[in-house]
Every structure is written in structure tokens, then in C-alpha cells.
Amino acid sequence: MTLSLEGRVAIVTGAGAGLGREHALLLARRGAKVVVNDPGGSVNGVGGDESAAAAVVDEIRSAGGTAVANVDSVASEEGAGRIIDAAVQAFGGVHVLVNNAGILRDRSFAKLSLEDFRAVVDVHFWGAVHCTRAVWPILNAQKYGRVVMTTSVSGTSGNFGQSSYGAAKEGVLGLMRALALEGVRNDVLVNAISPGALTRMSGEVAPDDPFMRRLDPALVSPAVAWLASARCDVSATIITAAAGGFGRLHYFETSGVQFDPAAPVTVEMFDAAFARIADLDNAAPTRPGTDGRIMERLDTLADR
Ligand code: NAD
């Protein structure tokens, strides 16, 4: 079955380079009309270069696709509003939002200034909030929408020197889970991609590593295109994608222990049980909602 995005309007933030560029090119090849957003600038988010978005629009048009450029920053509410307006004005609406824009200001937490911390969170986390918030009423009113967040292994597994980045990337997953619950009744599905790709962002980390050279960003985009399509029937799902490999990333909770809640629980009891609490055998995937495994554990008391 050929997957088509004909008739859909897609916004890809940070699409002037790297992964966003590949996502935009693929979405356009599959028939979507694309807003290529990117203010340009350095990997640290300094400066600007309007030619980045324009070049990708030219590429899409030369290949017979349809695209417009937008150079606003996702980091401001007003900028995000103008990005969504660009889609509405050029193409009459919007169906897909890929929150991809990002910057890096790596430093160990002890040395990182709050200004740099905030700048990273402003683009990755607040950028996703602003853009999704601006598009949310449109998607819900038309009872169709696909939102793709971009997370990172730096958030889900942690990476030295990337406290701001990791926090922001984990933040978009919390956003995704709540919005998935709020949007599903209107067929507005919210998922995330956790990519690995050789771009200027990762290139700074290890430019000559042979493993890194396999990480063509184009190999990530098919997952994004699927999540952006009507074929996608999942929400709150995190897809890992790198070097042609794909997986699903999910949180699990251990079966843990259950003490009698009618009696005091001491620190010593917790201490004695800690190995069983932390034991990953019998861990189960977390489910939507706030119950976790509370009821399941309490039920084990009734069995005793
Ligand atoms: P990249 O630097 O090539 O692309 C990021 C793009 O975002 C740039 O074109 C940049 O101009 C744009 N951008 C920066 N600030 C912006 C703003 N305020 N508003 C709009 N656009 C802005 O890096 P990339 O590797 O292609 O990263 C794309 C996304 O994938 C990022 O969210 C990144 O965190 C994530 N990611 C990348 C990797 C990887 O291995 N490359 C791994 C995990 C996550």
C-alpha cells in the first residue's frame, strides 16, 4: 500500500537543515503541502539566515512539490502563531505539525548558565508548546490532526552535559501524553520520534566516528511520515529511529512490593524491600492515566 499525504497541509519546524529538512522533503514527496519553518542561525541558536528555509522550499518545488517558507522562531508565542498562520494563509488549513526545531548549548550543570538553560528549553519545550497550542483548536475543530514531537535519548536515557536539552526533551513527552488523551476523541493523535542522525547537531559530538556515518537523517523520516499520516492509529507512542532501525520506547513500572496500608511503613521496611522494588523482572508497561500499579498491588493484599 502506498502511503499518501495528498490534500494534507504539514508544518515542519526547524526544517531548514538536518532532520527537519528530510522530513519536509519526504512529506512533500508524498503529496503534502509543506510549511518549511526555520529562522536559520547556528546550532547554538545564535544569528539567523533566511536562506535556510528558502533553499528547502526551492528543493521541494524543483521536485514538483508544494511548499512555502517561514522564518519565525518557535520560541515565542507570537512567532509560533505566525507559523500556523502561514499554513492557513498559503494552504487554507493545517493537518500535521512536526515539532522538530532545536538548538544545543551543552555544558555540565555546574557550569551551565541559567540563560543558556532557558534558551534550550525555550526552543525544544516551549517551541513545542507554542506551536501545538496554536494549531490545537484547528486540529480539534476539524476532527483530524497529527502532531509529532521530537524527543531524544538524551532525555529518555540521560547524557552528560545535556541537562537543559534532556529536561526539555523529556518535557515534550509529558506534553505528548496529556495531549494524546485530550485529542484522541477528535482523531488528533500526538506521538514522538526519538531520532539518531548525523546532522550538524550530532556532528559536533563525534564527526569521524564510523558508526555516526551510517546515521543518514533521511532514514528517520519514514517514521515521521507514517506518524503524520492517516495510517497512524496510535497516540502517545515514542518511536526510535536511527540508521534504518526502528523501535518503540516505553516506560515500565516494576511490580514492586505492597505493605499493609493500614499499618505504619518504616524506612527500614522500605530499605529491606528496595531490591524487590527496583527489580525489573515483572515490570509492566505504564498505562494512560494516573493509577499506575496502585490498585494491582493493593489487590495482592486481598489474595493473601
Ligand atoms: P539541526 O541543527 O540540523 O536542525 C535543527 C534546526 O532547527 C535548524 O535548522 C535550526 O535553524 C532550527 N531552529 C533552531 N532554533 C529554532 C527556532 N527557535 N525556531 C525554529 N527553528 C529553529 O539538528 P537536527 O539534528 O536535525 O535536529 C532536529 C531535531 O532532532 C532537534 O529537535 C533535535 O534535538 C532532535 N534530535 C536530533 C538527534 C540527532 O541525532 N541529530 C538526536 C535526537 C534528537
pLDDT in tens, 77-92: 999 999 999 999 999 9
β-pairing, 252-253 vs 284-285, is antiparallel
What is the reported pLDDT for 290? 84
CB of 148 shorter than 6 A to ligand 1? no
What is the reported pLDDT for 291? 82
What is the reported pLDDT for 186? 98
Helices (H), the chain: 18-29, 51-62, 77-91, 114-121, 127-141, 153-156, 163-183, 200-203, 221-227, 267-278, 294-303
Domain ranges in the chain? 9-249, 252-302
303 has pLDDT over 80: no
What is the reported pLDDT for 196? 95
User: Ligand 1, atom 33: nearest CA belongs to which residue?
Assistant: 102
216 has pLDDT over 80: yes
State the cell numbers at 154. Answer: 538524551
203 has pLDDT over 80: no
DSSP letter string over 13-42?
TTTTSHHHHHHHHHHHHTT-EEEEE-----
Q: Please, which residues have CB within 8 angstroms of residue 172's CB and are 6 or more apart in sequence?
A: 99, 124, 125, 128, 149, 150, 151, 192
Contact status, residue 112 vs residue 166, Cβ threshold 8 Å: no
Q: Among 100, 201, 221, which is best to mutate for testing ligand 1, by the most ligand atoms less than 8 A from CB? A: 201
Contact status, residue 8 vs residue 20, Cβ threshold 8 Å: no
User: Ligand 1, atom 21: nearest CA belongs to which residue?
Assistant: 14
CB of 13 shorter than 6 A to ligand 1? yes
| Distance from Cα 289 to the centre of ligand 1, integer Å | 31
CA distances from 80 to 22, 71, 91, 151, 243 (A): 21, 10, 17, 19, 31
CB of 220 shorter than 6 A to ligand 1? no
What is the reported pLDDT for 112? 97
H or E element at residue 9? strand 9-12
H or E element at residue 97? strand 96-98
| Distance from Cα 200 to the centre of ligand 1, integer Å | 9
CATH code of the domain made up of 9-249: 3.40.50.720
Contact status, residue 121 vs residue 168, Cβ threshold 8 Å: yes
204 has pLDDT over 60: no
Q: Which positions are catalytic?
A: 165
pTM (predicted TM-score): 0.96
| Distance from Cα 83 to the centre of ligand 1, integer Å | 17
6-10, 150-154, 244-248, 287-291: segment of lowest average pLDDT: 287-291
What's the pLDDT tens digit per position in 116-170? 999 999 999 999 999 999 999 999 999 999 999 999 999 999 999 999 999 999 9
CB of 200 shorter than 6 A to ligand 1? yes
Instruction: Please give the average per-residue pLDDT across 167-191, as a whole number.
Output: 98
What's the pLDDT tens digit per position in 267-281? 999 999 999 999 999
Pick from 208, 107, 223: which is nearest to 163 by CA? Answer: 107
How far apart, in whole angstroms, are the C-alpha atoms of residue 93 and residue 222? Answer: 23
Contact status, residue 15 vs residue 88, Cβ threshold 8 Å: no
Pick from 105, 87, 88, 90: which is nearest to 13 by CA? Answer: 87
